[in-house]
Amino acid sequence: MYAFDYHRPTSLAEAAQLLAGNPEAKLLAGGQTYIPTLKQRLAKPSAVIDLGRIAELRGITEEAGGLTIGAMTRHAEVAGSPLVKRVIPALAALAEGIGDPQVRNRGTLGGSIANNDPAADYPAAVLGLGATVRTSKGRAIAADDFFTGMFETALEPDEIVTAVHFPKPEKAAYAKFPNPASRYAIVGVFLAKTAGGVRVAVTGAAPCVFRATALEQALAQSWSAASIDGVTIDASNLNSDIHAQADYRAHLIKVMAKRALAAAG
């Protein structure tokens, strides 16, 4: 690891100020991606700003019938929360399947979505539920506008995710085909029936999480496995790598969509 300065702000305002005054600084949330990245010397920040002591960034509350989850809330907290299990059980189940228990004890919602790993689980829930990302600049960014590309988001360089608001869906479920070693999604499908229509978000399959509009249209017409069978997934923009070819990922999208449909009921 290269040497860096370390800051441990206790308020969001202090963290935002440190970040704004230090363009080469990086934020540390749960560190389950960033610390391995530092260990491999793949990053050389001038300073690390640790968000771990900012109480206002943590917690799960019920809001407008849905859930608001602070950016520094750990995966294990979401997975084990009776409130999440009651309001959006699919979200608790998704959090329970991230990485391994030790990763879930440290990793955070805000860290996951700000990193926007193409195979991360949380981006699928944020996009699939039509959630809103709240930031230190007072912005409320719709999920459809937040995930802009591989490891890229709509966040400005000095902007910090503070919380995510998830509206309560009528039905929702997530199914993933994990890489057996890393548990990252080779394909993960988050499917939701919401007040605004059917939403299907796919992670792991392409350079960035995306909505499978063909599946959404088919499921809006008929919420059934037969609708999924009738859809052809375009493999031309999907990833091919050592784990899976694009056409196999296209196939898995339908398989995972059907598993999610069965789980959602």
Partner 1 sequence: MRVSMTVNGKAVSGEVEPRTLLVEFLRNQLGLTGTHVGCDTSQCGCCVVHVDGVSVKSCTMLAVQADGASVTTIEGLAQGGKLHPLQQAFHEHHGLQCGFCTPGMIMSAADLLQRNPDPTEHEVREWLEGNLCRCTGYHNIVKAILAAAQTMRGMAKAAE
| Chain residues in the site for partner 1 (CB under 8 A) | 1-6, 8, 28, 31-32, 35-36, 38-40, 48, 50, 52, 76, 99-103, 105-106, 181-183
Residues pairing with 49 in the sheet: 7, 27
Q: Give Cα 41 to chain centroid, integer Å.
A: 25
Output 28 or 244, the one with its CB closest to partner 1: 28
Q: Which is nearer to partner 1, 63 or 96 (CB)?
A: 96
Minimum distance between the CB of residue 258 and partner 1, rounded to whole angstroms?
23
- How open is the CA angle 189-28-138, to the nearest 5 degrees? 75
* 246 contacts 235 by C-beta, under 8 angstroms: yes
Closest approach of Cβ 216 to partner 1, in Å? Answer: 32
81-86, long-range: CB within 8 Å, 24+ apart, which pairs? 84/60
104 vs 199 by CB, closer to partner 1: 104
In the complex, the smallest distance separating the C-beta of residue 85 from partner 1, rounded to whole angstroms, is 15
The CA distance from 48 to 201, in Å, is: 32
Shortest separation between residue 58's beta carbon and partner 1, angstroms:
14
* Distance in Å, CB of 108 to partner 1, minimum: 13
179 versus 217: smaller Cβ distance to partner 1: 179
Cβ-based nearer residue to partner 1, 168 or 183: 183
Nearer to partner 1, 182 or 221 (CB): 182
For residue 104, give the nearest of 143, 139, 76, 141 by alpha carbon: 76
Amino acid at 194: T
Residue 219's nearest CA partner among 175, 262, 177, 165 is: 262
Structure tokens at 132: 């809103």
Distance of closest approach, residue 181 Cβ to partner 1, in angstroms: 8
Whole-number Å distance between alpha carbons of 57 and 19: 16
